[in-house]
Every structure is written in structure tokens, then in C-alpha cells.
Structure 1
Amino acid sequence: MRRIIICAALLSGGCAQQPYPIVTSAGPTTVSDLESAGTPAPDGWQANEMIIPAHNAGPVLGIMESYRKGRTPDGFEYRYFSDGSGSVNLDSDELSMHKWNVRCQTDKMDDSRSCTLSRMDAPLIVLFAGERKPTAICAGMHDFPGKQAMFRIDGGHPIKADRSGCISGHALAEALKAKKITVRHVKWPYEAEIDTEVIPTGMTSAIGLTEYLFSKSQS
């Protein structure tokens, strides 16, 4: 059996890029410059939150509506939208893959609320299923029938996942204090066990944003 070891170098934050340059009639600027024209949001998640009109930075980011933007107490920039989606950036590049993504939705049949928190650059997913707290931690991309996904928090004992590739959300408290989380997944149709080391940078901020969006009624 082959085994692939991945050390996600991006997770250290050492690969941060400069903000994407935008050329306007007034000269080069950045997405942050365009977003600075927003207005304060008195009802935001954080006191520094701003409402950004879509016509400011939207065309560059591919956003067609106004949205909210702010900075967490840990210093990470976040955005969220009226559809229950959002993100927490882990470096200064607004277009970087190095971020946490949040997606919350309300079931159209029973009105139950659920959220998914995931890393764009690592196979780690946190589920909020019907509760305003993590209910499961899952190995993203694990879909090989009969193969075992696993988690290891720092140097602790490996934790075997269930058939869906998930473990209990109770493990999150330990994961938030960890220096690294090792995730093993197996992708169909390959039998290789793929191990990824995830440094939980910004995870506390991302959990906080997810809890906030979970509580907001979907517009």
C-alpha cells in the first residue's frame, strides 16, 4: 500500500503573497483600498465591522452584492454575506486559498440550521448540524469505501473516524489548543493513505464566525 505524506507549507503562513494589484484611472490600488469606502455596521459581529457596497471591490472578488467585513480579536480579517457564507483570511492576500470558509443554511423542509466550516488548503471540515456548536470534525475528500480516516492531535493517540470520515465535535476543544492536527484520508479510486498536517491558525476566530452566522436567520 502506498502512503503519501503532505506537509502543507502554506499553513505556516510563510507563503503569504502581496495583495492583488488593481489598476484604476487613479493609479494602482488594492482590494483593501477599495473596501475602505464602506460604512460602519452597528449590528456587526465585531465592533470594527464595515458594510461594503458591491460596486467597490465586488467586481475584483467576483461578488455581486454588498457584504460585511471586519477584523477578529486575533487579528484575522473576515467577510460574510447575506446567504450565510463567509470566510476568515489567514494572510494578507484577499484572493489567497489560505483561509477558512463558512457556509450556513436553513433546511427548507424542517427549518433546521446547519453550518460547515472548512479549510480551502487542507482536508479538514467542522460540522455544526442543528446546534450552535461543533457536532463533528471530518476528513475532507475521504470517500473510499471501507478505508479508515484518522485524526491525530499533536502527539496524542490516533482517533479513528466513523464510516463518514468524522469524529465527535467534542475533540475540538483539544484541537484548538494543538500545534498541529494530522488528518488521514483516502480518496477514491486510489488506495493511498494521504496524511496532511494542519496547523489550526485562525481556527478559534473561524469557529466564532460560524457560531455567529449559525445564529443569524437566513435572509
Structure 2
Amino acid sequence: MHKKIKNMVGFIFIIVNLIILISNIHISERVKFDKLEADKLLKEAYKPLETFSKDLIVIEDEKLLLVPSYISCEEDFVDLFNQKMEGSTPKGFYEDLVIEKDGQLYVDASGYIPNIYTEEGQVVTSYIKKRKRLFPNIFGHEDEKDVKLVIKETWKISGQIHKRSNYFIKNESGEWILEHFNGTSHYGFVDVKNNPWNINRSEKKL
């Protein structure tokens, strides 16, 4: 009798664990997203970076670019993105680009962050990825969804094609904001004169 009870308990334990396992299985589906709208979202997200790059100032030291006067710290830089990106992304840009020297902030003239504004920048594909439970109602769970907008872009740097996948999520207002990305994030030029951010800046030289 004791053995039967023990076997029964073991059987129930296995069944319960199988139910829990099945209830945690997720499935994904993809829904096409308009490329023109995707292009618009990317340009809105990266516009602050593009504006910042245009406002960089050439100085006598060709290895450095002076940051614009409206940037005095990392917080100022992050605020430029006006909730178009999750904070960790512009913080990463700041860490990749900005250096401090004698109490002044500069950008390494060889450093460059490519984006949709880069030469031949274009959206190659865009879709909404939805991830949800296969069996949401087991144990009374609601149908949980993990929704992301994926925008894949390419651009040309030094004659070579580079790629990036951007992942957007919706904020509390229901607007798409850039959460993170994969792919080329930072590019370093051997000759700083080839950096797009250094071209045609003679009128701003200090």
C-alpha cells in the first residue's frame, strides 16, 4: 500500500511538472511592418545623433572634435534623444564617442556611429514580432505577449556594406522607442579625414 501511494505521488509530481513545462512554452509570429514607416521611425530615433554630429567643432588637434556647447555631461547627451531610445542606448553612444581632456569634452575624430543617415542607408526589412504562451489559460494565466518591432538596415562605410538590427518596444504612451540593437555599433577610421563627421567643417574650426 505504501509503495502504491509513493508511486502515485511520483506520477502526480511528473504530471504537474509536465503541465508547468507546457504552460511555459512560447510561440512567435511575425507581422509585416511598412518599410516607409520603419524608415521614419529610424530617422526619428537617430536624428539627435545626426544633429549632434553636425554640431561637432573642428579644432587644431585633428584627432579630436569639440562637443557643442549644449553638452556638458552624459545626462545632457542622453536628454537629446527625448525618449526616442531607452536610456542605455544613448549612454552607450556617449561612452563610445566622448572623452574628457583637461576638463573639456571631445569626440574622438576617428570614431563614428553609423545609422540610417549614413551613405546608402536603407531599411531592408521590418516586422512586428509577437511572442506569447502556447497554452495561456493553464492555471489561469492571461495571454502574455512580448511585442517588438524589428527594423533591419544596411549602409555603406568605406565601400563595404554593414548591417544592424534595431529592436523597438512601445512606451507607456503607445509610441515605438528604440530598446536596443545588434550589429555594427561603432566604426573607427584609420584616417580621420574619411570620417563623415569630419567632412566640410572648416567653417566651424576653432
Q: Which has more helix, going by share of residues? A: 2
Instruction: Provide the TM-score with structure 2 as the length reference.
Output: 0.22
Q: Choose between structure 1 and 2 for higher RCO, CA contacts under 8 A separated by at least 6 residues.
A: 2
